[in-house]
Amino acid sequence: MSFDILDRFGDPQLCRNVLDTLARELDGELRFMEVCGTHTVSIFQSGLRSLLPEGIVHLSGPGCPVCVTHESEVNAFLDLAGKDGVILTTFGDLMRVPGDNGRNLKKAQADGARVRVVYSPFDTLKLARENPDDLVVFIGVGFETTAPTIAGTMKMARQEGIRNLRILCFHKTVPTALDALLSDQDIALDGFILPGHVSAVIGVEPYRFIPQTFGKSAVVAGFEPLDILEALLRMVEWRKRGEARVDNTYTRIVSEHGNSRAMDVMYEVFEPCDALWRGLGLIPGSGLEIRDGWVEFDAKREFDIVIEEGPALPGCKCGEILKGVKRPDQCPLFGKACTPANPVGPCMVSTEGSCAAYYKYKVD
């Protein structure tokens, strides 16, 4: 695909035309939630949020992997930082996520803990080879997008006979979270813009329950302004006809059944488990844990880590923001005690977090 074609997905006149059609076709109010941090940023960065017709209400959901990582999971990896013989590895976006007592990985690193930022889980193999007397522990957070590469890293480690790599697996799966959101009577939603990256792996089929069980609509969308507008237009048109459906407007990347090789690798190594989500609490079957056949990589079992509900960060409303029941600017700390330079909660740390996007683009 040429970049010229991609440029057209941001064509201002085409966007204006779709916005006009949306305003014409909209019947009542449409409350939609995006569940992908990249969509959050795209909607703010492109200015779409302020251009949408008044009756289209945008909510950000639990699509930022750093943001949904539960407080207890954050404290668990912070407890590992600085342990003798442990080199903790992570993607950079976890470095400033706060745990209890103002702890974070960056401070732990400054205090001498061996914490390394990696760009790919495969980088941990090199670290493990170079440090045979240490345990290299990778913090696995995120969704179906990252889990297959971590599973692939474990397979390569086993093939090579690397014995000092561990994975602290806090992975979560998106469809189960959407089910939990739709089951929550306090959350008023008409439809979802579904995550393009996750859907590239899992496909469209796992979302079919959304209209069937809940009578709501959902559209898999790409990340350009026209991708998002097209998804909204479909939901508006279905609603006008009294229909609820699932569709895929990101067909240049996403197929009905996703990437079967990635899914096979992921489920060869991981299996579903119950998981705690920040804000959403315990969702049965919404996490991934390492299968018994791969136990030699499991950092939770190695260090007896048990994740349980604990106190939330004082004053932080990230939980309510991730459920779409509060906007970032309704948090009393927003822009005062909590800023990107001095974040109190993960939604202000991550570049894909709603609070950071609100702050950066000075919305509303």
Binding site for ligand SF4 (CB under 6 A): 315-318, 321, 328, 331, 333-334, 338, 343-345, 347-348, 355
Rounded least distance, CB 347 to ligand SF4, Å: 4
Cβ distance to ligand SF4 smaller for residue 153 or 354: 354
CB of 328 to ligand SF4, least distance (A): 5
CA 106 centroid distance within chain:
21
State the nearest-atom distance from the C-beta of 337 to ligand SF4, in Å: 7
Strand, helix or coil for residue 281 = strand
Q: How far is the CB of 293 from ligand SF4 (least distance, A)?
A: 39
By beta-carbon proximity to ligand SF4, the closer residue of 182 and 356 is 356
Gap between the Cα atoms of 199 and 253, Å rounded: 9
Distance between CA atoms of residues 307 and 274, nearest Å: 10
Toward ligand SF4, which CB reaches closer, 154 or 316?
A: 316
Q: Which residue, 154, 151, 212, is CA-closest to 178?
A: 212
Shortest distance, CB of residue 102 to ligand SF4, whole angstroms? 13
**Cα torsion for 270, 273, 278, 279, to the nearest 10°?**
140
Nearer to ligand SF4, 150 or 349 (CB): 349
Compute the distance between CA of residue 42 and CA of residue 35 in angstroms, rounded to an integer.
12
216 or 323: CB nearest ligand SF4: 323
CB 356 → ligand SF4: shortest distance, Å?
Answer: 8
CB atoms within 10 A of CB 215: 11
Closer residue to ligand SF4 (CB): 97 or 263 = 97
Closest by CA to 42, choosing from 60, 56, 24, is 60
Task: Tell me if 221 sits within 8 A of 6, measured CB to CB.
Answer: no
C-beta atoms surrounding 155 within 10 Å:
14
Residue nearest to ligand SF4 (CB): 345
HSE-up of residue 351 (Cα within 13 Å, Cβ side) = 6
Q: Work out how close the CB of 196 gets to ligand SF4 at its nearest, in angstroms, rounded to a whole number.
A: 25
| Cβ proximity to ligand SF4, 78 vs 235, nearer residue | 78
From 30, 52, 55, 53, select the one nearest 43 (Cα to Cα). 52
